[in-house]
Structure 1
Amino acid sequence: MSSLPGFGRVVVMEINKVGIVAVSVASALVLGVGSPAAAVRPRVSTICSLESAGMGQAIAGLPDDAATSAQVRVTTAAGCWEGASGVADLRTNAPVPAHARFRIGSVTKVFTAAVVLQLAAENRLSLDDSVRRHLPGVLPASYSGVTVRQLLNHTSGLPSPALPDDIAWALAHRYDVWTPERIVRTALRNPREFGPGDEQHYTNMGYIVAGMLIEKITGHSYGGEVRRRITGPLGLRDTYVPGLDPAIRGPHAHGYQVVGSTLVDVTKWSQTLTPAAGDMISTVADLDVFTEALFTGRVVPASLLEEMFTLPAVKDVSGGPATHSAGLEATTLPTGEVLWAKSGARYGYSSAIGASRDGGFRLIYSVTSTDAKGEGQTVTAERIIYAALGMR
């Protein structure tokens, strides 16, 4: 047993296909003030030359009750800063390995949007096409007005599957295998949210269908197209679509989820419920290369790239203005400057990419949050974002 600040005595457990298994935690892993785990210092990469006391402080003190580790890469006109802190495994207290992989969650949508926009640039589809033109057996006739563009900017009105929204159900079904077709069929049992193009509601559904669209048009898997069109040409060796594999291959930090007063190791988890929307794995270095290449026009041709920086002229379902474009989200700073970003969360992992429009300023991070799917931004991520903005 060990103590996490704010949680009292907890047991670190791991999950496998036969259930939840308790893991004995050595006394050296007690997480508290002055303990060995709390004394882990941030590791700063020698690849980057920038110094940042603020960023070092932002990720110091891990693991704590909110996160067990963090990885960050910030690029400015003056250079870059890259570092990591915390532990990769609470059982061994091992540090986060260099080039550690992690689940990027909805950052996957940026890759999927880029592939669809490439297909549009090749005239293999039009963003104004009806989705049913290419996938007639997927959406019923009542959804004939839904266009490809609306899939990407979350204005399609497609409903989401009505699944239990609790961690107990999620843990019990973490190894379930879903197909995109099954997800869509389950979702379409519910009424449409709104008319096509009338409002914006950020969900996974548009991108799950977009992944099916990629496969229908190319004749190849969505993961294969991501590899052929993006990760291969850019040399992103640590970025991949896991498919049916619930594990993270290669060096990585374990992800944990608080369940009551217990920490559960949730590193192994099937991602088939979010194909093309939230299933990919990457590293901070790879995501930095991808973000720079994307924003500077080396992934999507300029004529189509503007779709990623154009907000639809509709209201969000919450009543505020739309903030999501094709793959990205706009954030307006107090100075009036707009930064374009995409965050992602899977159980155990919170991540994000963000950049100025010209790509000159970039922030990439991964935090193994103990409540990654909770409401709002994690405390660790907030500190990282504020520190990164201070480096501009």
Structure 2
Amino acid sequence: MHARRRTAVLAASLVAVLTAGPLAATAAAAPAQAPASTAAPASTPTRPATAPDAEALTAALAGLPDQDATAALVRVGGTDGAWRGSAGVHDLASASPADPDARFRAGSTTKVVTAAAVLRLAAERRIDLNTPIQHYLPGLLGGRFRPVTVRQLLNHTSGIPAGDGLGNSFEEVYAHRFDTLTPQQVAASAAAKGPEFRPGAQQHYLNINYTILGLLIEKVTGRSYASEATRLVLAPAGMKDTYFPGAEPRIAGPHNRGYQAVKGADGTTEFVDVTEWNQSDRFAAGDMISTTADLERLLTSLFRGRLVPGPQLREMFTVPAHIDGATYSAGLQRFPYEGKVYWLKSGGRYGYNTLIAGTRDLGRTLVYSVNSTDAKGQDMNPVAQRIAMAALK
């Protein structure tokens, strides 16, 4: 395949796989230019064929901040070689360089941790993946739902519809950004709608599946989701800079500010600071705060079998074979490209887009955090797309 055609195919595939959410906005003006990117290639001047392309990765980060992103943090790793880079600003007011070790909202990459925690509990025989969630959480769904197994929650084939949020537009949810919506309230609102389809018949990626899995973890352990996810996954993986904020709107420790581009009636664009935000409704589906180094530790520890025993780990690399078009496993998503299969998970919270990805043999891994100015938009962030294309080429 010619390079131009290969690039086009990859770009289209990435957009299809990694789009972050339902809200779209267009930024009409870009923030002021800031310091150039910093990069530390871990390779020799003559790049082996399989090593990360340092030149392409550096170019992917050029020009930040711009109208699409204010900062980007990147870690490419694996047995084929490593590369580290960062670009952009800590905040628009000071225009000081972005902190490459900063914490950020990791969004739906939280689901990888939740899935691993559930599978650890399954290995301990405290959870049976074939048992209906109604057995563990009686009364949660009501009589209109057929039995929904724990496995069907893990791979998004439950048929449970999305729960309610605090609004449908950016303006609505921003106005409620300090309000608390509990996971119990989210689950109750989903159950009240009745089933979307028969369990196991289709695959529909929705946060509600992992919200309920978080409640399951709490029920079978008698402890909070945050404490059990830390005990079962974060601590064994060495993720010391990762935590679950709950209703606390601030990001603890060093972090780069996040912004949303909001277009006004006069056609101008304002970059609204969205760093402080109560993420309690995201719960086990997406409220984690982490770093690129910690997410790389999660990816490598998980794929090497250090977190989840082999029989249960297979669930994370198994896509339902009977459902046409299914791509999701337990906590991950299958993405084939150019003869390789990448297992990945993306995440998007206002101000922040995140990705973790790797081949099963850990030949190539990628972790990035992009301070996107439209992190919940329908299209993949252009900066994130450039990074992924450079890393996976």
Matched, 1:298 2:298: no
Matched, 1:269 2:277: yes
* AA at the equivalent of 1:82: R
From 32, 36, 40, the counterpart of 1:41: 36
Matched, 1:168 2:182: no
Alpha-carbon distance between aligned partners in 2 of 1:360 and 1:66, rounded to the nearest angstrom: 30
- On the 8 A contact 2:140/2:191 being kept in 1, the answer is no
Matched, 1:114 2:113: no
- On the 8 A contact 1:200/1:314 being kept in 2, the answer is no
Offset, 1:162: 4.3
Write out per-residue CA displacement over residues 68-115 of structure 1, whole angstroms, 9 at most, x where no aligned residue. 000000013243111100001001111112411111100000000000
TM-score, structure 2 length as denominator? 0.87
Matched, 1:7 2:28: yes
Write out per-residue CA displacement over residues 37-82 of structure 1, whole angstroms, 9 at most, x where no aligned residue. 34x2111248x45771110110111000000000000013243111
Runs of 4+ in 1 over 4 A off after TM superposition: 48-51
Write out per-residue CA displacement over residues 305-350 of structure 1, whole angstroms, 9 at most, x where no aligned residue. 01001011344xxxx51010000001110x2321100000000000
Residue in 2 that maps onto 1:345: 348
Pairing of 1:122-133 with structure 2 (within 5 A): 122-133=124-135
- On the 8 A contact 1:314/1:321 being kept in 2, the answer is no
Residue in 2 that maps onto 1:289: 297
Change over 3 Å in CA distance of 1:221–1:249 after alignment to 2: same
* AA at the equivalent of 2:58: G
Residue in 2 that maps onto 1:25: none
RMSD after superposition: 1.7
* AA at the equivalent of 2:36: R
From 297, 301, 326, the counterpart of 2:330: 326
Query: The residue matched to 1:141 in structure 2 has which SS?
Result: coil
Alpha-carbon distance between aligned partners in 2 of 1:110 and 1:346, rounded to the nearest angstrom: 16
Offset, 1:229: 1.4
Residue in 2 that maps onto 1:203: 206
Residue in 2 that maps onto 1:308: 316
* AA at the equivalent of 2:136: H
- On the 8 A contact 1:73/1:81 being kept in 2, the answer is yes
* AA at the equivalent of 1:331: F
Query: The residue matched to 1:142 in structure 2 has which SS?
Result: coil
- On the 8 A contact 1:132/1:144 being kept in 2, the answer is no
Alpha-carbon distance between aligned partners in 2 of 1:8 and 1:343, rounded to the nearest angstrom: 27
Query: The residue matched to 2:144 in structure 1 has which SS?
Result: helix
Residue in 2 that maps onto 1:234: 237
Change over 3 Å in CA distance of 1:6–1:223 after alignment to 2: closer
Which is further off, 237-246 or 158-167?
Answer: 158-167
Write out per-residue CA displacement over residues 4-34 of structure 1, whole angstroms, 9 at most, x where no aligned residue. x96248xxxxxxxxxxxxxxxxxxxx61xxx
Alpha-carbon distance between aligned partners in 1 of 2:73 and 2:225, rounded to the nearest angstrom: 28
- On the 8 A contact 2:106/2:287 being kept in 1, the answer is yes
Alpha-carbon distance between aligned partners in 2 of 1:160 and 1:349, rounded to the nearest angstrom: 22
Query: The residue matched to 2:157 in structure 1 has which SS?
Result: coil
Write out per-residue CA displacement over residues 179-213 of structure 1, whole angstroms, 9 at most, x where no aligned residue. 11111111222231101111000010000000000
- On the 8 A contact 2:341/2:359 being kept in 1, the answer is yes
* AA at the equivalent of 2:132: S
Matched, 1:380 2:380: no
Alpha-carbon distance between aligned partners in 2 of 1:303 and 1:73, rounded to the nearest angstrom: 29
Alpha-carbon distance between aligned partners in 2 of 1:77 and 1:268, rounded to the nearest angstrom: 37
Query: The residue matched to 2:286 in structure 1 has which SS?
Result: coil
Pairing of 1:132-151 with structure 2 (within 5 A): 132-151=134-153
Residue in 1 that maps onto 2:62: 60
Unaligned runs of 5+ in 1: 10-29, 32-36
Change over 3 Å in CA distance of 1:314–1:265 after alignment to 2: farther
Alpha-carbon distance between aligned partners in 2 of 1:224 and 1:162, rounded to the nearest angstrom: 26
How many matched pairs? Answer: 354
From 140, 151, 154, the counterpart of 1:152: 154
Which structure has more RCO (C-alpha within 8 Å, separation ≥ 6)?
A: 2
Alpha-carbon distance between aligned partners in 1 of 2:122 and 2:164, rounded to the nearest angstrom: 32
Identity of matched residues, %? 47
Alpha-carbon distance between aligned partners in 2 of 1:314 and 1:93, rounded to the nearest angstrom: 51
Offset, 1:144: 4.3
- On the 8 A contact 1:247/1:269 being kept in 2, the answer is yes
Change over 3 Å in CA distance of 1:44–1:216 after alignment to 2: same
Higher strand share: 1
Query: The residue matched to 2:141 in structure 1 has which SS?
Result: coil
Which is further off, 105-114 or 50-59?
Answer: 50-59
* AA at the equivalent of 2:387: I
Residue in 1 that maps onto 2:106: 104
- On the 8 A contact 2:155/2:330 being kept in 1, the answer is yes
TM-score, structure 1 length as denominator? 0.87
Query: The residue matched to 2:248 in structure 1 has which SS?
Result: coil
- On the 8 A contact 1:104/1:349 being kept in 2, the answer is yes
Unaligned runs of 5+ in 2: 1-25, 45-52, 264-268
Residue in 2 that maps onto 1:243: 246
Query: The residue matched to 1:151 in structure 2 has which SS?
Result: helix
* AA at the equivalent of 1:141: G
